[in-house]
Amino acid sequence: MLGVNPQLPAHECLLHGLGNTVFNGDLILICDLVLLRGLPKSESRQITARQTGGRYNASFAMPKHSQRGRTTRSSRNDSVQIFLISCDLPLLELAVEDPKAFEQRLGAAVAKDWPDFPSAMLVSRDKLRANPALSGWWTHVILLHSPRMIVGVCGYTGPPNANGEVEIAYGVAPAYWNRGIATIAAAELIRRAFMDNRTWVVCAHTLPEHNASTRVLEKLGMRFVGLDNDPDEGTVWRWELKRSEGARTTPNE
């Protein structure tokens, strides 16, 4: 188990958000498989079936203990397996106030030489404090299976808006660039977003240039649809994928 604390009672587990759920001490959702300590296996299976609904049939690597992770083949010809863990407020508080305890909770160290991570956790914590409605549609950490390492941050900017739009964002520690991690994390974000019937369009914004981020979106079938204005970055490119177009479960190389 990835940092699961067996001392916490099962009733403290939290189910909410996308039809997916949040890591909350006793519970980890890994690509829609819910693992609960302290509950009978039959209950865990029932929750798993309800969460997945049989709506995802892409190929997964299945390590021991029935933990599901998304696997991709990197340019270095090694298999990369990652898990996305959605952060609730207590987990973000831990990341900001006690980074070592945060690592112990997840059973993984934060990648070295990644100065943006502490500030990202601080901003995420403060915004979720101010707007609890973001919960489940907010920050996720990307956990590399082997070696066990926190290598990225991704997530949503909020739940579906009145037009059924959901925006995704992602970033990977520099030492782990060019391994396909951002692509597979973004693919999983898209998949989870479309599991909510309110979502009609998944969008993303990039700097107005062709770069690694735009290549990720192109691999996933997202289309450049025009210019937008960002209060911090100024002019940006907007990318979209509509529900009717379908998300790619296997990125184009």
**DSSP secondary structure string for all residues of 125-143:** HHHHHH-GGGTTSSEEEEE
Residue 20 predicted with pLDDT over 60:
no
Helix 116-130 to helix 89-97 angle, to the nearest 10 degrees? Answer: 140
Kind and range of the H or E element at 236? strand 234-242
Q: Both tokens of residue 179?
A: 């391994």
Residue-level pLDDT at 144: 96
| Coil vs helix vs strand at 190 | helix
The per-residue DSSP string of 159-177 comes to: S--TTSEEEEEEEE-GGGT
Q: For 137-155, what is each residue's pLDDT tens digit?
A: 999 999 999 899 999 999 9
**CATH number for region 10-245:** 3.40.630.30
Residues 22 and 13: beta-carbon distance below 8 Å: no
Render pLDDT for 87-143 as a digit per residue (tens, 0 to 9).
999 999 999 999 999 999 999 999 999 999 999 999 999 999 999 999 999 999 999
Comparing 28-37, 83-92, 131-140, 222-231, the range with the smallest average pLDDT is 28-37
pTM (2 d.p.): 0.70
Q: Residue type for 55, please?
A: R
pLDDT band at 176 (very low <50, low <70, confident <90, very high): very high
What backbone phi and psi angles, to 5 degrees, belong to 75?
A: -70, -10
Contact 118, 110 (CB under 8 A): no
Q: Does residue 32 register a pLDDT over 60?
A: no
Residues of the chain with pLDDT > 70: what percent? 66
